[in-house]
Amino acid sequence: MSTGRQLLDELRRDEELRRALAEELLPEALRHRELRRIMLLAISREMATKDDIESLKKDMERLGTELKSYVDARITELKSYVDARINDVNMRISDLYGIMKASLVAIVVTLASTILVPLILRIFF
User: Tens digits of per-residue pLDDT, 79-114?
Assistant: 999 999 999 999 999 999 999 999 999 999 999 889
DSSP secondary structure, 31-99, as one string = TSHHHHHHHHHHHHTTSPPHHHHHHHHHHHHHHHHHHHHHHHHHHHHHHHHHHHHHHHHHHHHHHHHHH
Q: How confident is the model at residue 41 (pLDDT cuts 50, 70, 90)?
A: confident
Determine the pLDDT at residue 54. Answer: 93
